[in-house]
Amino acid sequence: MHKVSIPEHVVARSRLQRGGREHLFERLDMAKVAHVVVDLQVGFVAEGAPVEVPMTREIFGAVNAVSRAVRAAGGTNVFLRYTCDAREDMPWTVWFDNYMTPERRATMQLAFARGAPYWQLAPELDVAPGDLLVDKTRFSALIPGTCDMDAQLKARGIDTLIISGTLTNCCCESTARDALQMGYNVIFLTDSNAALSDEEHNATLISMSAIFADVMDTGRLLGLIAGSGTMRTAA
């Protein structure tokens, strides 16, 4: 697992901004919560995959535990798939043409074409009937015209997103940043996200802690979900 390191001065500043609270949420209305599992696809998970992130193979236990808890509590699980779609209305030419070699572009576009083996969700994931499978063609799942996750969540009355998946500092961070600015509460998990290095993982956790999200580990989240269910039943 990643070695998590968030400087105390960042935590203290965040706590001050929140009126002394270390965490934003003491309970969750689970009917309004979505667990967004970002891009845990074969192309990111498998050994030798085009964008192999070895740490992904260590987070499945935590990610699946969250999915099961959210599902049991009446929340929504969303499994995102990064997709290269040559027929999309808004081709991402700047990324493919300017930020990678032609060889790398061809590899990515073939690997993550809709239906390709590397595009599929990793078999280690706990996916159940009723969970949402959503394709996106950008890092963030909230770019208008490139993904319909926002519309699907709004149709379900979702107002809070739990972010897990890969890469911590790319698609997970991009989705979390946009989510806050689009009116969602964001919970970002320290041990259910994976990057290519501890440094990159922690850089995102620092930004999330300082501004964008309530940052916590899976154990705390599972306790929060369990407590929210108890409170809802008691109410």
User: How many other C-beta atoms lie within 10 A of the C-beta of residue 153?
Assistant: 25
Specify if 153 maps to a domain: yes
Could you list the residue range(s) of the whole structural domain that residue 193 is in? 8-234
| Tokens 């260590």 sit on residue | 58
| Tokens 């309970």 sit on residue | 27
Predicted pLDDT of residue 86:
86
Query: What are phi and psi for residue 143, nearest 5 degrees?
Result: -90, 120
Q: Are 159 and 32 in contact (CB under 8 A)?
A: yes
Distance CA 196, CA 54 (A): 7
Predicted pLDDT of residue 230:
46
| Tokens 């959503």 sit on residue | 134
Tokens of 139: 């890092």
Helices (H) and strands (E) in the chain, counts: 9, 6
Specify if 2 maps to a domain: no
Q: What is each CA distance from 44 to 48, 50, 51, in whole angstroms?
A: 9, 7, 5
Specify if 137 maps to a domain: yes
User: How many other C-beta atoms lie within 10 A of the C-beta of residue 65?
Assistant: 16
pTM passes above 0.85: yes
Predicted pLDDT of residue 51:
97
Percentage of the chain exceeding pLDDT 90? 93
Distance CA 7, CA 17 (A): 16
Query: What are phi and psi for residue 33, nearest 5 degrees?
Result: -110, 135
182-199 pLDDT, tens digit per residue, is 999 999 999 999 999 999
Q: What is the CATH number of the domain that holds 90?
A: 3.40.50.850
* pLDDT higher than 70, residue 27: yes
Q: Are 133 and 121 in contact (CB under 8 A)?
A: yes
3-state SS assignment for residue 157: coil
Predicted pLDDT of residue 234:
33
Tokens of 58: 């260590």
Mean of the per-residue pLDDT values of the chain: 95
Predicted pLDDT of residue 235:
34
Look at the chain and report how many structural domains it folds into: 1
